[in-house]
Amino acid sequence: GHVAGAAFDVFVTEPATENVLFGHPNVICTPHLGASTTEAQENVALQVAEQMSDYLMTGAISNAINFPSITAEEAPKLKPFVELAEKLGSFAGQLTETGISKVQIAYEGAVAEMKTKALTSAALAGLLRPMLGAANVVSAPIMAKERGIVVEEVTREVAGDFESLITITVTTETQTRAVSGTVFADGRPRIVNIKGIRMDAEFGPSMIYITNLDKPGFIGRFSSTLGEAGINIATFHVGREAPGASAVALIEIDGDLPPAVLEQVRALPQVQSAKALHF
């Protein structure tokens, strides 16, 4: 294609007194007034300092070129949902072992009226960090795009069982996995649904995720295995599709899970898979 017109206010040499583009009918040239005087430079520096102070003191973000603007009023409401989105993404990312082709992030209820672009960035950062390490809320959307990952954002303002709900659905080469979470009045993020199975679990620093058959004896054998290894169970949350069908368990423990103990857990009857998670 061809450039139909252009406008410039920054030049290699300033003040610019001569330039081949001056006088061209399809070009507009203006002086670089934003920082061409001492007063302008002082005002720009003061504005940047005030914006950084606002961010550090209140969480407000303004005039960022690579992140959505957030007001001081929006920041405290958004903060717990940013944490929820990032941890839901991390949960899905730590369980994903093959290439990701698509990520759908659905917002339902009150959260759908918030700055969902910021939440999506947080979810992608959590999702990609286990695989790429350096992902953050600014770089994650770009990293996802560079890797050909389709990111779809869905908003539904009508609430269901929860006032606000975030659901992340990850599609890979071999499967599709969904996890949902919410924030209750205490402000702490919770997982409320894993691949269609209801549960209510807070995130802990060190956790174990297990898929198993809903048969008698699993919880007792699992608890004994950890007890014999000297590992204390902090919380234990379970859910199932139906009696005797597939079930999931999310257990918070004190300290890290040694690889040898994880293998013992995987060898237990009824256990289909087990994974150590960190948040």
* pLDDT tens digit sequence for 85-136: 999 999 999 999 889 999 999 999 999 999 999 999 999 999 999 988 888 9
**Contact (CB, 8 A) for 236 and 249:** yes
* pLDDT confidence bin for 54, thresholds 50/70/90: confident
Show the tokens assigned to 123. 């979810």
Bridge-partner residues for 212, per DSSP? 247, 271
Query: What is the maximum alpha-carbon separation in the chain?
Result: 86
Q: Please state the rounded mean pLDDT for residues 217-225.
A: 95
Q: How many C-beta atoms lie closer than 10 Å to residue 180's C-beta?
A: 24
Answer whether residue 40 shows pLDDT above 80: no
Residue of 217 and 11 predicted with greater confidence: 217
Give 223: exposed, middle or buried? Use CB within 10 Å, 0-12, 13-18, 19+. middle
Give per-residue pLDDT as tens, 155-175. 998 878 899 999 999 999 899
- Only one residue has tokens 């949960």, namely 91
**Contact (CB, 8 A) for 247 and 211:** yes
Q: What is the pLDDT of residue 66?
A: 63
- Superfamily of domain 204-278 in CATH is ACT domain (3.30.70.260)
CA 102 to chain centre: 15
Q: What is the pLDDT of residue 15?
A: 76
Assign a CATH topology to domain 71-203: 60s Ribosomal Protein L30; Chain: A; (3.30.1330)
Nearest to 205, CA basis, from 260, 278, 145, 272: 278
In this structure, are strands 197-202 and 246-253 parallel, antiparallel, or unpaired? Answer: unpaired
Q: Beta strands of the chain (E only): which ranges?
A: 6-8, 27-29, 100-109, 150-156, 164-172, 176-183, 189-194, 197-202, 206-213, 233-240, 246-253, 271-278
Percent of the chain scoring above 70 in pLDDT: 94
Q: What is the pLDDT of residue 159?
A: 75
The length of the chain is 279
Instruction: Please name the residues in contact with 188: beta carbons below 8 A apart, sequence gap of 6 or more.
Output: 80, 202
Q: Identify the weakest region by mean pLDDT among 36-40, 186-190, 221-225.
A: 36-40
**Contact (CB, 8 A) for 234 and 252:** yes
**Contact (CB, 8 A) for 104 and 169:** yes
Q: Please state the rounded mean pLDDT for residues 244-271.
A: 95
Rounded to whole angstroms, the Cα distance separating 266 from 210 reads 9
Residue of 32 and 98 predicted with greater confidence: 98
Task: Specify the amino acid at residue 60.
Answer: A
Q: Identify the weakest region by mean pLDDT among 62-66, 107-111, 123-127, 188-192.
A: 62-66
Q: Please state the rounded mean pLDDT for residues 259-275.
A: 96
Q: Which residues of 143-164 are buried (b: 16+ CB within 10 A; e: fewer)?
A: bbeeeebebeeeeeeeeeebeb
Residue of 7 and 34 predicted with greater confidence: 7
Q: Please state the rounded mean pLDDT for residues 185-209.
A: 95
Rounded to whole angstroms, the Cα distance separating 6 from 267 reads 67
* pLDDT confidence bin for 65, thresholds 50/70/90: low
For residue 61, what is the DSSP state? B
